[in-house]
Amino acid sequence: MMEPSELRNRFSGVIAFPITPFKKDLSLDIDGLRANLQKLVQHPICAIVAAGGTGELYSLTPDEQLRVVKTTVEETAGKVPVIAGVGFGQQLAIEMAKQFAAAGASGILAFPPYYPNADEEALAGYYRSIGEATKLGLLIYSRDWANFSPAAVEKLSKIPTLIAWKDGQGDIRRLQMIMERIGDRLYWIGGAGDDLVPGYYSIGIRTYTSSIATIAPKLSLLLHECASSSGTARLAQLMKDYVVPLYTFRARRKGYEVSAMKCMMDILGMSGGPVRPPLPDVRPDERKELEEMLKTWKPVL
């Protein structure tokens, strides 16, 4: 088992958020997942999230989630830490965390619970129970309705196993306030998208979660390298040429943040497959746009 402090020390650079490939009948494509991971771990990413948001966590059954985590642990073979996503409700999240720890995961990423109207005290109980379920390092994913005040994050920071905060809000102003209040008690991870790398790194963050790493780990790593050094001109060019056009496409329909990545993987000969409803697949005419986009991506693939 990886100690929470060891996992925290491994964070620097790009955390990959792989998709979960499905077959045409929407069943799991485990062989495809293995092939994707074999390519991914050839690049110096610092961690992989198994069954995260890009991995369609909420569309998977508990058994499928466990299979995805086990497969990811097997294929990474200790090369990079595997962080397993949990969520839904408290008891299910606890059960999932325990199973994933037994399967060899290095850490737990806690998604918001199913109930969107919980107050801060009740939410704290949810996260605390997940943190107490295992000895693994815990990461909290602030996204959707789980949007915390600096004071609330300070209370959550009392959870002994909590090591990192993954921001999925993209609110740089509030994040700065949180970071100022909590300091280095937590490790700060930019988690709202590759397109926010310039903003995150401008306030001192040096690790971000990347869905682009699914198809172009080289580009994800270049974004990190340029943003963490003096390569501002190069970073701006990478954003203009690759990242912003992709995120503009993804913003067309809710769910395209996953569908577009899967479609691009299929175009590149990797294993993507369809998404499960209620996410929408990329329309056939729009697939042609992604094909043209990828022709310009050759330098960063």
Distance CA 16, CA 43 (A): 10
Average pLDDT along the chain, 301 residues, taken 10 residues at a time: 97 98 98 98 98 96 98 97 97 98 98 95 97 98 96 98 98 98 98 97 98 97 95 96 98 97 98 98 97 98 96
- Give catalytic status of residue 141 as yes or no: yes
- Give catalytic status of residue 127 as yes or no: no
Catalytic residue among 141, 200, 247, 256: 141
Query: Would 10 be classed as within a structural domain?
Result: yes
Q: What is the tally of structural domains in the chain? A: 1
**Cβ contact 246:223 at 8 Å:** no
* pTM given for the model: 0.97
Catalytic residue among 70, 127, 166, 187: 166
Distance CA 143, CA 173 (A): 15
Query: Would 262 be classed as within a structural domain?
Result: no
Query: Would 294 be classed as within a structural domain?
Result: no
Find the CATH number of the domain harbouring 190.
3.20.20.70
Distance CA 68, CA 79 (A): 17
Report residue 271: phi and psi, to 5°.
-100, 110
Residue 95 has a pLDDT of: 98
Sign of the torsion formed by the C-alpha atoms of 270, 274, 278 and 284? positive
Query: Would 92 be classed as within a structural domain?
Result: yes
Residue 178 has a pLDDT of: 98
Query: Would 274 be classed as within a structural domain?
Result: no
